[in-house]
């Protein structure tokens, strides 16, 4: 396995799960063996995908100490590790138990040979599970909704990363993914411009648009790319995003040099 990436934000509801899920699908479509791990005790990936929420996952393995059962998908290159069920009363305790069981570290070690990428969807906030994941992975993608409050909370995540690095963690910011952007709404556009000004080198050029197809996809319980035989244009946005991510990771496609490819030999 070459890369471990967390999708994180201090603020909730900004699109971490949506971005992690659709990026995982796009990576797998590009042939990279990808494992998407849900570390949110609310089981966000299970809530987003039809047929996943009933499966045991990370929660069960925290309790019984065994490494969890991976869920295969329609794409051979995409595997999932859902959360399973964490009782509402146990949510606070769960992160402590997960830390004590070293489940995330053991999972990354086990994934070493089988995957090119392990992506972690983390819960909102910087405590508990998020911190545990950030201590273990190499990269974090900060997901920011194009709205003032989400923008203002980004420095806190960067501070945490700096502090973790001082204590020996290797996790660094791979980039900032902007979500729910719109060039038509002046307030949202102003936020995007501020984001570009403040974090120019980090912000991915691909901005995920606000689009009601995301709600349709979550209602259907599928990634955007599987919403219909002809996927909506927003699905293609993730091809652009993951191409940028691959560029920053230095992932080579098919072992060949980058550059034009002749159509006719």
Ligand X SMILES: Nc1ncnc2c1ncn2[C@@H]1O[C@H](COP(=O)(O)OP(=O)(O)OP(=O)(O)O)[C@@H](O)[C@H]1O
Identify which of residues 45 and 117 has a Cβ nearer to ligand X in the complex. Answer: 45
Non-local CB neighbours of 60 within 8 Å, separated by 6+ positions: 66, 68, 84
For ligand X, the binding residue among 3, 4, 8, 15 (CB under 6 A) is: 15
Asked if 12 interacts with ligand X (CB under 6 A), we say yes
- The answer to whether 77 and 33 are in contact (CB under 8 A) is yes
Phi and psi angles of residue 8, each rounded to the nearest 5 degrees, phi first: -140, 160
Distances (CA, A) of 95 to 117, 131, 138, 161, 261: 23, 9, 20, 19, 48
Q: Shortest distance, CB of residue 16 to Mg ion, whole angstroms? A: 5
Asked if 208 interacts with ligand X (CB under 6 A), we say yes
For ligand X, the binding residue among 39, 179, 206, 207 (CB under 6 A) is: 179
Identify which of residues 1 and 228 has a Cβ nearer to ligand X in the complex. Answer: 228
Element (H, E) at 197: helix 186-198
Identify which of residues 1 and 213 has a Cβ nearer to ligand X in the complex. Answer: 213
215 binds, among Mg ion, ligand X, none (CB under 5 to 8 A by kind): ligand X
Asked if 17 interacts with ligand X (CB under 6 A), we say yes
Cα dihedral sign, 227-229-235-239: positive
Report the relative pairing of strands 3-8 and 172-181 from DSSP bridges.
unpaired
Asked if 211 interacts with ligand X (CB under 6 A), we say yes
Q: Shortest distance, CB of residue 31 to ligand X, whole angstroms? A: 25
**Of residues 7-46, which lie at the interface with Mg ion (CB under 5 A)?**
16-17, 44
Asked if 10 interacts with ligand X (CB under 6 A), we say no
Question: What does the alpha-carbon distance between residue 33 and residue 192 come to, in Å, rounded to a whole number?
Answer: 32
**Of residues 115-144, which lie at the interface with ligand X (CB under 6 A)?**
123-124
Binding residues for ligand X, rule CB under 6 A, total 19
Interface region with ligand X, contact rule CB under 6 A, candidates 11-19, 59-67, 111-119, 165-173: 11-19
Q: Shortest distance, CB of residue 37 to Mg ion, whole angstroms? A: 13
For ligand X, the binding residue among 16, 33, 139, 202 (CB under 6 A) is: 16
Q: Shortest distance, CB of residue 64 to ligand X, whole angstroms? A: 26
- The answer to whether 63 and 20 are in contact (CB under 8 A) is no
Q: For the sheet containing 172-181, what is the strand order?
A: 71-72, 78-81, 34-38, 117-121, 3-8, 139-145, 172-181, 208-209
- The answer to whether 139 and 106 are in contact (CB under 8 A) is no
List contacts with ligand X (CB under 6 A).
12-18, 40, 44, 123-124, 179-180, 208, 210-211, 214-215, 218
Q: Which residues bind Mg ion (CB under 5 A)?
A: 16-17, 44
């Amino acid at each position: 396995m070459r890369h471990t990436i967390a999708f994180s934000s201090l603020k909730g509801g900004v699109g971490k799960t949506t971005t992690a899920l659709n990026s995982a699908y796009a990576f797998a479509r590009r042939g990279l063996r990808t494992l998407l791990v849900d570390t949110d005790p609310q089981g966000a990936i299970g809530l987003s995908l039809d047929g996943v929420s009933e499966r045991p996952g990370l929660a069960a393995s925290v309790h019984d100490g065994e490494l969890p059962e991976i869920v295969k998908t329609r794409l051979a290159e995409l595997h999932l590790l859902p959360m399973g069920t964490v009782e509402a009363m146990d949510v606070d305790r769960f992160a402590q138990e997960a830390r004590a069981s070293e489940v995330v570290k053991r999972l990354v070690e086990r994934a070493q040979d089988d995957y090119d990428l392990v992506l972690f969807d983390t819960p909102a906030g910087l405590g508990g599970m998020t911190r545990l994941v950030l201590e273990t992975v190499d990269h974090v993608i900060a997901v920011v909704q194009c709205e003032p409050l989400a923008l203002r909370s980004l420095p806190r995540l960067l501070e945490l990363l700096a502090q973790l690095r001082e204590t020996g963690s290797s996790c660094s910011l791979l980039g900032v993914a902007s979500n729910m952007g719109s060039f038509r709404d002046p307030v949202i556009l102003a936020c995007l411009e501020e984001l570009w000004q403040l974090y120019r080198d980090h912000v991915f050029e691909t901005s995920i648009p606000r689009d009601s197809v995301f709600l349709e996809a979550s209602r259907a319980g599928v990634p955007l790319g599987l919403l219909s035989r002809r996927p909506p244009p927003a699905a293609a946005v993730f091809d652009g995003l993951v191409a940028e991510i691959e560029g920053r990771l230095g992932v080579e496609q098919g072992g060949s040099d980058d550059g034009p490819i002749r159509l006719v030999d």
